[in-house]
Chain A
Amino acid sequence: MVAQIDSSPKALSHRVTLKDVARQANVHFTTVSLALRGHSGIPTPTRARIVAIANELGYQRDPVFMALTSRRTDVHLSRKVQRIAFLTNHPDPAAFYGAAHMRYFFEGARRQAEIMGYSCDLLFVDGKHLSSSTLEARFRDAECEGFIVGAFNIPGEIITLDWSRYAIVKIDSRFMEPAVAVVANDQMQAVRLAYERLHQLGYRRIGMAVGRYDEAATHDLYAAGCLIEQAGVPRVERIPPIHFAYGDRVQEAVPKLRSWVREHGVQVVISNWSEILPMAVAAGLRVPDELACVCLCLNDPDRRVAGVIQNHHAVGRRAVEVLGLALKTGQRGISPCPTAVYIAGRWQNGASAPPIR
């Protein structure tokens, strides 16, 4: 028997359903349902025939519908709120909540989850509390099908799961598997915004100081912003950026900063290190007279420091939005075309970089 496939535009726009398969196979649609689920009540030859017809017609189970019906039976008992998880590899809750940006990521995520009707659990993946194997069990128990890899640290615990079972979104964490959508602060926009505003304030010798680690973690977005802004100014104003090495702490970075400022006559430094102001002071430079300072990763408004206030809440919110869309459309596992979503920050004038007359 050859299945006749109606290829009129109307039929093409219509998704193949169980009933279509039933009509073709000349059985009731419940038979199709049972056959496709391999029910022993249906004779094997019939099952094979129905499966063949379903394949031919291109019938596909709708993962969203499956998720709904699988829970329909117990809806009158204690329906659980659908859970999503926010994973962190911070060593402990104190470290997590002590890092303002992490706290904001999570708060934003939880707020958006509430709007969309999910509950958002914070899980510590640090080898002590949870590891890859216990995490899978945890997800199974909580019927959790989607999670956010929340700005994992290097060094830190890394997870390896059967990615194909989950909808996954990463906040930063570009260094690790899996290849899925990433949501992050827009570091390139922050650098470009800083250049633009400093130019308006009258600065000309603008230098950028970032960590090598941060460049690698963002796929060179700081450098991209710096290079494209420098391409628009006279060659003499293009100050080569300074990169602090992996593992550099403030005490190692300070002398490097000092000699770089002296060598290039830097008027103002743009940095993603939140300690840039005390570092300049430690380098024996008067701020802002000898060196003005701009921080690219301010968490909250602070009149003393000029820079870019990052919208970490929005990163968390947007991550849940992307995750929710994946859950709704049935996307699981790694993405063939992983998108990157960047959230812009906003400029704040501050005493550390006053206008130049």
Chain B
Amino acid sequence: MKSRLNIDRTVAKTDAPRLPTMRDVAILAGVHQTTVSLALRNHPEIPVKTRERIRAFAEKIGYHPDPALDAFNFHRLANHPLRSAPAIAFISDLASGAAFEESAARRDVYFGARETAGRMGFVLERFFVGPQNLSPSRLNGILESRNIDCAIVVSFSLQTRELPLGWMRLCALKVESFHLQPQLDIITADHIQASRLALSQLWSLGFRRIGMVLTHSEDVRLAKLSRAGYLVELAGRTESVPIAPLYIDGVAPQNLPGHLAMWISKNRIEAVISDSSHILASMRRAGYAIPGDLGFASLDWARTDEGLAGVEANHHLIGQSAVELLAMRRQTNERGVREEISITFVPGSWHDGPTASRPGLVRHAEVSMPVREPALPASPSP
């Protein structure tokens, strides 16, 4: 009877041309309107056959979801926060919140994600997995029982090779974590662009013999992208010589200055690019004046590093993009491990600083220039 009534009402209104609505599809299919909504958004709760049947009905009468309305819903929550906002899990394999916040980069990713989540009506909640923290199965239990269906997996270390969770029900993305199973879409700083930018800036300042100081585990963790950028940028320049990078893993802090000095003088290094801003202090302890003897650019530039030149990654935007993409995929129920993997690279920007001033006196055994010539772009070292 009820559906009959609805049909009559529909007919009565068709004098004026009217677009089919979700309710029309529901009447035809003999299901509730909410079932249509779930089915068209591909919700796993609705049996596949029912989803197909409902989709066929929608097609038949020409019902389409309205993207403008979608977009509106996407924004609506900003002004009307739900009483219990859905949560997005922000998962790290570090030991604790304090360890997580040691890195300004990770902090910015978190802030970017949290801010965006808040703006879109989500709550961002941090979880730590690992031997001292939650086991993956325990975490999975929490996510399931709390009905959390979005996850961002953030900057996992090489020690954690896989994260077995019930991915089928999750909308999920990784920040970095190239090596980590499962394969999910990745958002990362564009490390190729960053080292290309640093190298080309140093080059345009007149530095020629430019070397990289890296942490091997970080290089591997980030799929050697920084080094790829360095090599390809150098390859495009005539008279350029790639210098094998210096890896500093496992070098005791007190030995680091000596280690650096040996590499610098052996390779007649004029400028250093490093993934760690801390290395600057060790180079100064080794007796190099920077600026003056050497140029330096950091690939981990942060606002707090005074007097430093380098590339600042847009970590905030990485966090923001991750949440926006998840929110959108949640709407269309694109869950689970995807067949194809995409990597989103977010570019960084160059910051000038005194550590990358025009090279003058380069203090090496072979090069002895008595007078500093700060204004001249240096010709390549002999």
A binds B: yes
Question: What is the interface of chain A, defined by CB distance below 8 A to chain B?
Answer: 13-15, 17, 62, 64-65, 67-68, 71, 75-79, 81-82, 115-118, 183, 186, 188, 220, 223-225, 227-228, 231, 311, 314, 318, 321, 324-325, 327-329, 337-344
Q: How far apart are the CA atoms of A329 and B72 in the complex, in Å?
A: 9
Which chain B residues lie closer than 8 Å to A65 at the CB level? Answer: 72, 75
A228 touches B231 (CB 8 A): yes
Q: How far apart are the CA atoms of A321 and B325 in the complex, in Å?
A: 8
Closest to B74 in A: A328
Q: 7 shortest A-B CB distances, which residue pairs?
A: A228-B228, A117-B65, A314-B340, A227-B231, A224-B232, A328-B71, A117-B67
Which chain A residues lie closer than 8 Å to B16 at the CB level? Answer: 76-77
B228 partner, pick from A62, A227, A321, A337, beta carbons under 8 A: A227
Q: How far apart are the CA atoms of A344 and B17 in the complex, in Å?
A: 47
Which chain A residues lie closer than 8 Å to B74 at the CB level? Answer: 64, 328-329
B227 at interface, CB cutoff 8 A: yes
A67 touches B346 (CB 8 A): no
Given contacts A13-B118, A224-B228, contact A344 B345 (CB under 8 A): no
| 26 A–B contacts, CB within 8 A, in A order | A17-B79, A64-B74, A68-B71, A76-B17, A76-B19, A115-B332, A117-B67, A186-B343, A188-B228, A220-B236, A224-B231, A228-B228, A231-B231, A314-B342, A324-B67, A325-B325, A327-B71, A328-B70, A328-B328, A329-B74, A340-B190, A340-B347, A341-B343, A341-B345, A343-B342, A344-B343
Q: How far apart are the CA atoms of A35 and B110 in the complex, in Å?
A: 40
How many chain B residues touch A (CB < 8 A): the figure is 46
B39 at interface, CB cutoff 8 A: no
Given contacts A68-B68, A76-B16, contact A339 B340 (CB under 8 A): no
Q: How many A-B residue pairs have CB under 8 A?
A: 125
B18 touches A76 (CB 8 A): yes
Closest to A19 in B: B79
B332 partner, pick from A14, A75, A116, beta carbons under 8 A: A116
A342 touches B342 (CB 8 A): yes
Given contacts A329-B324, A342-B345, A344-B341, contact A227 B314 (CB under 8 A): no
Which chain A residues lie closer than 8 Å to B79 at the CB level? Answer: 14-15, 17
B342 touches A344 (CB 8 A): yes
Residue picked from A13, A68, A342, most chain B C-beta under 10 Å: A68
Q: Give residues 78-104 of B contacting A (CB, 8 Å).
A: 78-79
A228 touches B227 (CB 8 A): yes
Residue picked from B72, B321, B349, most chain A C-beta under 10 Å: B72
B173 at interface, CB cutoff 8 A: no
Residue picked from B64, B71, B231, most chain A C-beta under 10 Å: B71
A116 touches B70 (CB 8 A): yes
B69 at interface, CB cutoff 8 A: yes
Which chain B residues lie closer than 8 Å to A183 at the CB level? Answer: 342
Which chain A residues lie closer than 8 Å to B138 at the CB level? Answer: none
Which chain B residues lie closer than 8 Å to A77 at the CB level? Answer: 16-17
B227 touches A231 (CB 8 A): yes
B66 touches A117 (CB 8 A): yes
Q: How far apart are the CA atoms of A345 and B263 in the complex, in Å?
A: 39
Q: How far apart are the CA atoms of A100 and B70 in the complex, in Å?
A: 33
Which chain B residues lie closer than 8 Å to A115 at the CB level? Answer: 332
Within the complex, the shortest CB–CB distance from B259 to chain A, in Å, comes to 21
Q: How far apart are the CA atoms of A321 and B70 in the complex, in Å?
A: 14
Q: How far apart are the CA atoms of A71 and B314 in the complex, in Å?
A: 36
Which chain B residues lie closer than 8 Å to A15 at the CB level? Answer: 78-79
B344 at interface, CB cutoff 8 A: yes
B64 touches A117 (CB 8 A): yes
A64 touches B72 (CB 8 A): yes
B229 at interface, CB cutoff 8 A: yes
Which chain B residues lie closer than 8 Å to A327 at the CB level? Answer: 67, 71
A343 partner, pick from B67, B118, B332, B340, beta carbons under 8 A: B340
In the complex, besides A15-B78, A68-B68, A328-B328, 9 extra interface pairs with C-beta distance below 8 angstroms are A17-B79, A64-B68, A76-B17, A117-B66, A117-B70, A225-B228, A228-B224, A337-B317, A344-B342
B340 touches A344 (CB 8 A): yes
Contact indicator per residue, chain B 343-376, by CB within 8 Å of chain A (1) or not (0) = 1111101000000000000000000000000000
A68 touches B69 (CB 8 A): yes
Closest to A342 in B: B343
Q: How far apart are the CA atoms of A188 and B192 in the complex, in Å?
A: 11
Which chain B residues lie closer than 8 Å to A64 at the CB level? Answer: 68, 71-72, 74-75
Within the complex, the shortest CB–CB distance from B155 to chain A, in Å, comes to 18
Q: How far apart are the CA atoms of A343 and B227 in the complex, in Å?
A: 21
